[in-house]
Structure 1
């Protein structure tokens, strides 16, 4: 179902917030301030996991059982790869709409630039735009949806995705161990699974206390790896019935 791009709504009129994006007062206010728990969100050192640290494996076990979420440090994804992705993503979303529309999602596909999983008119919409691609296995790629602007964007997506794939594989090995299986057990089961890549863009909003960038949800993937901007807040995770804001932590 076609819906307008939020970025274009803001460009046309920064003060406009269509009713389909406005959440009820009850929905927005029925949230406790749980920021005091932010510092308790587990931080896992991937380099220690890779070297077989039992202490770090125990921390990972607790993170999965108690939180279902963790922050990962020393993951070995080069800073220049992360920075290239951030810059290219920002440049893509600043392109004219006609250019971005070359990669628009079709009604029968979930890849491309646009809004997936939009149902009838009563659904409240998220205050965000996105581009979604399948990156691995390579034979699953639909390159017609892969932007070639800004220059080199395809190579940047490929490089970033390969590094993220390595991180995911290392995590799966560690998860196999703490579940009492052979080290590569989960990796073997994921061999044919698709790895998707998604960029979200959250335009500024004149009514920030009445919209949501992304609706509350549970990901259907085995693992979700999210690159978080250190100076951008908004990510929250569900923990024991309440929402805890995620603030970037360092060991």
Structure 2
């Protein structure tokens, strides 16, 4: 379902960069952060997750990360300092006056959520989807893969993983220069910091997704973590209705 009455808001990122924020629904505030190469529409709206959450009584606040979607995509490397995505989303929480809210993300969005928690964000509940422990404590583990894709576009064998990643980049109309710079923003979060997060946390991952390490391992070290498996791999689990349903079930329990 994509015909939701979505409102676009613009906030200022930590350095004044315009950040597009898509808002829909009424009820409890839920901030959802999309993954790398993606955007709010592709991650949350296109496959019905937003509609399911709105129907469950939530007001969704879905930013496009800098370098993605409808947000600013500067090519200057200075716009991509370590933790820039975290700074932007902490600014979102402040500028939108959020005090009692839930927070979650998919892949890079989950990593950004963890960085926000490490930096003092205080959501009531947390969703970490498409993310394992390794992807948080060794954030550039996949960096070489993405750097290779972004610097060798058009050279990959049809059907290969790199070809599929490039195809996804085309569907989201991603900016390769901005996205390459995004790699500079990644910051590791030590395991002992993650193990200190007290919020009820649902770790959701595709059955065939080990792109960011072991998601069950992540759920296990969280004091109030639980693991939920949905069908699919890293690229297609986000398209499955089971992902949105798992989020609804957790947040309405």
Category of TM-score, reference length = shorter chain: under 0.3
Report the TM-score, using the length of structure 2 for normalisation.
0.25
Tell which structure's C-alpha radius of gyration is larger.
1
Report the TM-score, using the length of structure 1 for normalisation.
0.25
